[in-house]
Structure 1
Amino acid sequence: MQTEYDANKDTINQQKHGIALSLASQIEWSEVLCFVDDRTDYGEVREVGFTVIEQRLYVVVFVQRGDTMRIISLRKANKREIKHYEQASE
């Protein structure tokens, strides 16, 4: 699966979360636990996923466009999200 992202979003993500969106290239998409983010109408289906990268749980926000995942945000999961992920993975 290909990944892409906006350079401006990457800069914002690095400033806000300290993580480059290029890290998303390491995501094993078949193992992502995800759900649709329907809190607002984004004009396309936006998903939030939990994924492990380098033995650390991350939260990725993305839009699937054909065979390409457009990365919107990537950050380390917080304690609440880790607990939620562990419960959902059982």
Structure 2
Amino acid sequence: MIEFEWDNNKATANWRDHGVTFQHAVKAFSDHFAVEWIDDRENYGEERFNLLGICEGVILHVTYTERGENIRIISARRAQKYEQKYYYSENSF
């Protein structure tokens, strides 16, 4: 089973800034139609990934990294319109 982790200070700031808890963001990983890609916009010193997944009817954009066998959530927010279009273009419902 996948284990999730995060920095509690970052989680609090994420809730304040984006209105999404990391506990809620974990549910996006259960979306069987989730879209993932490597976040290579910058050199973060670690490999980062982006995930678009539906959670309770809302598409979330979650940035994360892998730490051993755990997934460490870095940020989570509601997907922007262009990201929502991308999600649906990758999935033919």
CA distance in 1, matches of 2:31, 2:91: 15
State the 1:76 CA deviation: 0.8
Q: TM-score, normalised by structure 1?
A: 0.89
The letter of the residue matching 1:14 is W
State the 1:8 CA deviation: 1.1
CA distance in 2, matches of 1:69, 1:29: 16
Q: Deviations over 1:63-84 (max 9, x none)?
A: 0123211000111112111111
1:1-90 maps to which residues of 2 (within 5 A)? 1-26=2-27, 27-28=29-30, 31-90=33-92
The percentage of aligned residue pairs carrying the same residue is 33
Q: Which runs of 5+ in 2 are unaligned?
A: none
Taking only aligned residues, the RMSD between alpha carbons, in angstroms, comes to 1.5
State the 1:15 CA deviation: 1.1
The letter of the residue matching 1:8 is N
CA distance in 2, matches of 1:59, 1:22: 14
Larger mean CA deviation between 36-45 and 17-26 belongs to: 17-26
